Amino acid sequence: MSIAERLQQWFGRGTGIPHSLRRELQVVRRLQSQLATTSSRTPVEEFRSLRYQLRVRPQDPSLHCAGLATACWASELALGLRPHDVQVLAALALRRGVMIEMATGEGKTVVAALAAAVSSLAGEGVHVATANDYLATRDAHWGSPFYQTLGLRVASIAQSLPRSRRGEAYRADITYSTARELAFDFLRDRLALRARREAQLLFAGQSGSASDPASRPGRPAEAAEEPVQRGLRRALLDEADSLLLDEARVPLIISGQVADAAQRVALARWAANLARELRETADFEHDPREHRVELTDAGRQRVRRAVTPEIERLTNPELEAGVELAVRVERELIRDRHYVIRQQKIVIVDEFTGRLAEGRQWRGGQHQAVEAREGVPVTPPGETTARITVQEFFAGYEQLAGMTGTALDGAREFRTFYQRPVIVIPTHRPCRREIWPTRVLATTAQKFAAICAEVADLRDRGRPVLVGTRSIDRSEELSQVLREAGIPHEVLHARRLAAEAELVAQAGQRGRITIATNMAGRGTDILLGAGVADLGGLHVIGTELHDSARVDRQLFGRCARQGDPGSVRQFLALDDDLLDRGLSAAQCRTLREGAASKPGDCDALAPWFLRAQRAVERQQFEERRWLVRQTKRRRAQIIPAGFDPYLDLLES
């Protein structure tokens, strides 16, 4: 099956909407009509009445339908938006705690607001997790009039919000934030509770009595930080596949300083300098597939001879490990692909989204090794005080639901890891996306030349083009090719995060050319400019297959939204590293040698890229499954009966 055929299959799948959801939709529409025409009460009064009734009859599903009908009514009054049937279906599905697949441009922001409002009927607080601070703030601000019409309080939490103000934000009915901020506040709360418990036990031991220490003035527990969250009750996730699958393995860690931090910093600087002098094969062996570097006997001797007074207290194994890490960083991590330098700090670029992972650091000394390599101030390493993975954190919610444009591709993992089924929501209007045949070129240079030619041709016709790349350096390379061809364009990547939404929103204007890393701008609609629909709409070009087919679908889903016309084409090159990671060395060599003997006849090799992509997807699935098993095993070992399980998830 070709890539074009697979895309046709992806975008043409059935919906599988349960009949019970369709019946509930009819109930909601009937109640909404009655409220708008005959109700003598305001949406606030109606909503408060439903909240009271739900306390009396918590299992009555008709109350949730009435709540959603009231929310739809409030949307019309406050925002001038009457939710489409597919949006109401999506909100009903989210209330059931499932993962929904909803195409790009179908109004997931509206769906999240409706579902969050209905979930808030329980009065326990709803967390809406978005991709970044900008989207969290934007969506909370956009939905504020709607929530106020229902008598609900909404707040948002960004990285810059001080902890002293976060408690108030979490006490709101609906709180928008990022997964990272929600999880770190959870960890800080657990640490605060642990500190309070330890202080109370210590005070009780010193006083010789375990009587209520909270009643004694000046108790040590008073110094403990107050928790800010109200517990993990209900969560709605935007871009659920990115959070729960792609970032499932990402550990969120709170660290304290280690005793020998100064020596570790000195080791990182010394190892970075020495790594540049070492020679492969003579001094070390490097296995890029396994991401492993091992010093040879000659290399170990060079390490011992190069020891300086600042690090002489460290053992030989520690010195050798530091040098091997520095060599691996020198060989494998590429500036502007894996990280950028901002204000003399190393900022990781998220491999799945192309966005900056603000505040995240590599573990095991790798972050310090990169800092030393680039000559920026080296941050002292820390030891883990509290740790949790994204997977562990969201598994702790009593009710979890999410939405994304590619949920069905991850259905097996959603079901296996989170016990959540997937429902595909149909589009409001029929999709008019054209899938153009895949082009395969021998080299990246030839691929970029072909992309440049297609971009120039489409621009001459007035069509806008969005070109997706995997990394910042690839964006810059392609940008240089377009500049040399005299084609004006915008480059959107992690360095320009503040302008991301504004630039991508303009990508549908006549003759506009936009290069974007991976899923930059995800969450922002691309509206077509005047007359663009008559020209064929937005054209999306993929420059490489991603590790996950879901990401390719997200990119191609940026065009042909809400019944607009649009087209997509995938360009590939035989020197793409996906082949090296997904196929054997012999297979890669055969493909490239065959292409060299028949130049210009490579399009038939496209299925090999799909085979490599599926192999990489299987590897990542197995890694995530291993993580789940390790998590269950660790919980079974460390959680005694009667203890708060999430308090004991922390590692110290």
Q: What's the number of CA atoms in the CB half-sphere (13 Å) around residue 72?
A: 28
Residue of 11, 255, 198, 132 whose CA lies nearest to 501: 132
C-alpha–C-alpha distance, residues 333 and 101, integer Å: 34
- List 294's β-bridge partners, or say none: 285
- List 177's β-bridge partners, or say none: 129
Question: Token pair for residue 95?
Answer: 């209330």
164 contacts 131 by C-beta, under 8 angstroms: no
CA-to-CA dists, residue 315 to 93, 129, 263, 306, 319, angstroms: 58, 45, 12, 14, 6
- List 128's β-bridge partners, or say none: 176, 236
C-alpha–C-alpha distance, residues 318 and 326, integer Å: 12
| Structural domains of the chain sorted by starting position, each given as residue range(s) with its CATH number in brackets | 3-9+18-181+392-424 (3.40.50.300), 259-380 (3.90.1440.10), 432-613 (3.40.50.300)
Residue of 224, 219, 50 whose CA lies nearest to 150: 50
Q: What is the pLDDT of residues 26-51, one digit of tens each?
A: 999 999 999 988 878 899 999 999 99
pLDDT of amino acid 351: 67
CA-to-CA dists, residue 94 to 28, 64, 114, 376, angstroms: 15, 12, 10, 46
pLDDT of amino acid 37: 87
Cα four-point dihedral sign 412, 414, 419, 420: negative
Hey, what amino acid is at 380?
A: P
443 contacts 591 by C-beta, under 8 angstroms: no
C-alpha–C-alpha distance, residues 123 and 120, integer Å: 5
pTM: 0.83
CA-to-CA dists, residue 411 to 16, 241, 456, angstroms: 13, 10, 39
C-alpha–C-alpha distance, residues 95 and 169, integer Å: 23
C-alpha–C-alpha distance, residues 152 and 230, integer Å: 17
Q: Are strands 174-178 and 126-130 parallel, antiparallel or unpaired?
A: parallel
Question: Token pair for residue 124?
Answer: 């326990």
pLDDT of amino acid 192: 87
pLDDT beneath 70, residues of the chain: 1-15, 205-224, 257, 259, 351-355, 493-501, 518-523, 599-601, 631, 634-652
pLDDT of amino acid 388: 85
pLDDT of amino acid 66: 95
| Cβ count within 10 A of residue 563 | 13
Question: Token pair for residue 282?
Answer: 């003579």
Residue of 116, 113, 102 whose CA lies nearest to 142: 113
| Cβ count within 10 A of residue 118 | 26
Burial label for 17, CB within 10 Å (0-12, 13-18, 19+), is middle
pLDDT of amino acid 181: 93
pLDDT of amino acid 493: 64
Question: Token pair for residue 114?
Answer: 């409706």
What are the counts of helices (DSSP H) followed by strands (DSSP E) for the chain? 24, 20
